[in-house]
Amino acid sequence: MSQYNQEEEVIEEIAGGEFERQAVPQSKLQSWKAFLGMYAGEHAAGTEFVIGPLFLTTGVSAFDLIVGLLIGNLLAVLSWRFLTAEIGTKFRYTLYFHLEKICGTRLVTAYNLANGVLFCFLAGAMITVSATAVGIPFDMEMPKLTDTTPNSLTWVIIVIAIGAVISLIAAKGYSTVAKAANWMSPIIVLAFIACGVVALIQLDVNSFSDFWNIWGEGGDPFPGQIKYTFWHVVLWSWFANAAMHIGMSDLSVFRFAKKASSGWTTAGGIYIGHYVAWIAAALLYAVYLKSPEAQAMLAGGEAPSVAPGPLANNAIGVFGIIAVILAGWTTANPTIYRAGLAFQAIMPKVSTFWVTILAGTVATVAGLFPAFAMKLLGFVALYGFILAPVGAIIVFEYFFGKQAGIQSFYAEKTGIKFNWAVFGAWALSFGVFYFISVQYDVFLSFLTLPAWISCGVLFLIFSKFYQKN
pLDDT more than 90, % of the chain: 42
C-alpha span between 332 and 125 (Å, rounded): 9
What does the pLDDT look like over 255-298, one tens digit per residue?
Answer: 989 999 999 999 988 998 899 989 999 998 999 888 888 888 88
Could you tell me if 199 and 284 are in contact, meaning their C-beta atoms sit under 8 angstroms apart? yes
Which range has the worst mean pLDDT, 3-17, 110-124, 139-153, 416-430?
3-17
- What are the helix and strand counts (H, E) for the chain? 23, 0
Q: What is the secondary structure of 339-368 as a DSSP string? A: HHHHHHHHSTTS-HHHHHHHHHHHHHHHHT
pTM attached to this predicted model: 0.84
DSSP structural state of residue 81 = I
Residue 259 has a pLDDT of 92
C-alpha span between 40 and 46 (Å, rounded): 12
Mean pLDDT of 328-356: 79
What does the pLDDT look like over 34-72, one tens digit per residue?
Answer: 888 778 767 777 678 788 888 888 999 999 999 999 999
Q: Pick the residue with more confidence: 174 or 233?
A: 233
For residue 408, pLDDT over 70 is answered with yes
Residue 255: φ, ψ to 5°: -65, -20
Domain boundaries, the chain: 32-378
C-alpha span between 297 and 287 (Å, rounded): 15
pLDDT more than 70, % of the chain: 93
The C-alpha torsion from 349 through 257 and 394 to 330, rounded to 10°, is -70
DSSP structural state of residue 274 = I
Residue 32 has a pLDDT of 86
Residue 398 has a pLDDT of 96
For residue 79, pLDDT over 90 is answered with yes
DSSP structural state of residue 68 = H
Count of CB atoms situated within 10 Å of the CB of 33 = 12
Residue 16 has a pLDDT of 40
The b-or-e profile of 238-267 (16+ CB within 10 A means b, else e) is bbbbbbbbbbbbbbbbbbbbeebebbbbbb
Q: Compute the half-sphere exposure of residue 453: CA atoms within 13 Å on the CB side of its CA.
A: 4
Handedness of CA 101, 107, 109, 111 (dihedral sign): negative
C-alpha span between 232 and 58 (Å, rounded): 10
Residue 316 has a pLDDT of 85
Q: What is the secondary structure of 361-389 as a DSSP string? A: HHHHHHHT-THHHHTHHHHHHHHHHHHHH
What does the pLDDT look like over 129-171, one tens digit per residue?
Answer: 888 888 888 888 888 777 778 888 899 999 999 999 888 877 7
Residue 197 pLDDT grade (very low, low, confident, very high; cuts 50, 70, 90)? very high
Residue 365 has a pLDDT of 94
**Local structure of 189: helix, strand or coil:** helix
Residue 178 pLDDT grade (very low, low, confident, very high; cuts 50, 70, 90)? low
Mean of the per-residue pLDDT values for the chain? 86
CATH architecture, domain defined by 32-378: Orthogonal Bundle (1.10)
